[in-house]
């Protein structure tokens, strides 16, 4: 399953690395791609992941906002 989101508030690759690390830790997630330029977050998982789970993981990384694409 592939889900796409937009993450705002990131300013550097360090931010990207933190968000990817937290989202990758969600159980069932098999791949995470995140682009700093447009905030595109693509999460690949074995089963659907609730958006609130993604929001919580991104919040662990910093003060970023997540919206479905």
Domain spans of the chain, in order of start: 2-68
Q: Are 60 and 52 in contact (CB under 8 A)?
A: no
pLDDT at residue number 66: 97
Note the CATH architecture for domain 2-68.
2-Layer Sandwich (3.30)
What does pLDDT average to in each consecutive run of 10 residues of the chain (69 residues)? 97 97 98 97 96 97 95
Residue 68 three-state SS: strand
Question: Can you give the pTM of this predicted structure?
Answer: 0.94
Q: Determine which helix (DSSP H) or strand (DSSP E) holds 36, and give its type and residue range.
A: none
Q: Determine which helix (DSSP H) or strand (DSSP E) holds 56, and give its type and residue range.
A: helix 51-61
């Amino acid at each position: 399953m592939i889900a796409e989101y937009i993450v705002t508030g990131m300013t550097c690759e360090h931010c990207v690395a933190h968000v990817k690390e937290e989202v990758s830790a969600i159980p069932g997630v098999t791949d995470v791609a995140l682009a700093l330029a447009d905030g595109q977050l693509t999460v690949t998982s074995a089963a659907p992941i609730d958006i609130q789970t993604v929001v919580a993981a991104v919040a662990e990384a910093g003060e970023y906002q997540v919206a479905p694409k």
